[in-house]
């Protein structure tokens, strides 16, 4: 099991990264006269990104990887349009899926504020998400939607321990600039229960030092977030993408924690997807 963890983590982040890059857009697929997408596609993808070790940290974590990928657009099983998991309900107005998200782990020895404390493992979030379409239903244009994911957080670096519950409502918009460029924007917030807040911001009495007081964390707002991503279609089979996200801890529930060293942060990523094979069968929308 321990030997499989690095590969397991890499697959989660690459698949999730591809899905986010293609979220609410037409994925890489051969040009056709029809609007239908293939049921599945296989290809190669690379992804590199950087983010704060946790919201409020002054230190960063980074990840870069390249792996084969598969996109599947079945009636229920989906790895497409921002969904990595099971779609249970879909109507023109709303959709419900069960999927995952994740964040990179980091060693506390590399984080000045957390030295001597337990490491922050790689976190995987799993749970349901409601998507409400705010776009033009008559033309089937999904240019604006509200997303309401509620997910349990699992630390895959430490025996898959449960770390709490995250709720991250956000508003997603999409803009087609040309037939090759697409821009997506997101505005939202992330909230955590007491257990998740304690994972990031709690300091037990035995972890206190002269420069780090003990602290009992509180559930509530973790951070406000705004993101912008761009996707550019190079050829019928190749696409590049980049994304940046800003976050603010203004009004956060645990601003008084000694582990918060700054009230703002940023994350960024860049990658590519190159489609190699496609199903002749159309996707099930």
* Domain parsing of the chain, residue ranges: 5-278
Q: Please tell me the CATH code under which domain 5-278 is placed.
A: 2.40.230
Q: Which residues pair with 188 in a beta bridge?
A: 170, 225
* Residue 163 pLDDT grade (very low, low, confident, very high; cuts 50, 70, 90): very high
Give CA–CA dist 276/285, Å, rounded: 22
Contact 120, 110 (CB under 8 A): no
226-243 pLDDT, tens digit per residue, is: 999 999 999 989 999 999
pLDDT at residue 29, as a whole number: 39
Four-CA torsion 189, 6, 21, 74, nearest 10 degrees: -100
Query: According to the model, what pLDDT value does residue 88 have?
Result: 81
User: Does 82 have pLDDT greater than 60?
Assistant: no
Rounded to whole angstroms, the Cα distance separating 61 from 266 reads 12
The distance in angstroms from the start CA to the end CA of the chain is 36
Residue 1 has pLDDT above 70, yes or no: no
Instruction: List all residues 6 or more positions away from 33 whose beta carbon is below 8 Å from its beta carbon.
Output: none
Query: pTM higher than 0.85 for the full model?
Result: no
């Amino acid at each position: 099991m321990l030997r499989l963890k690095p590969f397991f983590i890499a697959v989660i982040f690459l698949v999730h990264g591809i899905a986010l890059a293609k979220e609410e857009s037409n994925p890489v697929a051969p040009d056709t006269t029809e609007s239908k997408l293939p049921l599945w596609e296989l290809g190669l993808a690379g992804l590199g990104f950087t983010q704060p070790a946790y919201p409020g940290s002054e230190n960063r974590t980074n990840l870069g990887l390249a792996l084969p990928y598969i996109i599947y657009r079945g009636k229920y099983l989906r790895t497409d349009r921002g969904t990595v998991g099971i779609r249970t309900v879909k109507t023109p107005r709303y959709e419900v899926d069960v999927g995952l998200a994740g964040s990179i782990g980091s060693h506390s020895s590399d984080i000045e504020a957390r030295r001597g404390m337990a490491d922050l493992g790689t976190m995987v979030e799993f749970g349901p998400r409601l998507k409400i379409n705010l776009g033009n239903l008559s033309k089937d244009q999904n240019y604006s939607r509200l997303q309401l994911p509620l997910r349990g957080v699992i630390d895959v670096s430490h025996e898959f321990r449960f770390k709490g519950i995250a709720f991250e409502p956000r508003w997603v918009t999409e803009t087609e600039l040309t037939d090759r460029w697409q821009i997506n924007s997101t505005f939202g917030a992330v909230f955590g229960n007491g257990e998740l807040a304690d994972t990031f911001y709690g300091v037990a009495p035995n972890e206190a030092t002269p420069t780090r007081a003990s602290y009992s964390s509180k559930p509530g707002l973790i951070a406000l977030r705004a993101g912008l991503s761009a996707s550019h279609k190079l050829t019928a089979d190749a696409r590049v993408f980049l994304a940046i996200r800003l976050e603010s801890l203004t009004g956060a529930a645990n601003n008084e924690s000694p582990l918060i060293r700054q009230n703002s942060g940023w994350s960024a990523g860049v990658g590519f997807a190159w489609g190699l094979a496609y199903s002749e069968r159309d996707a099930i929308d």
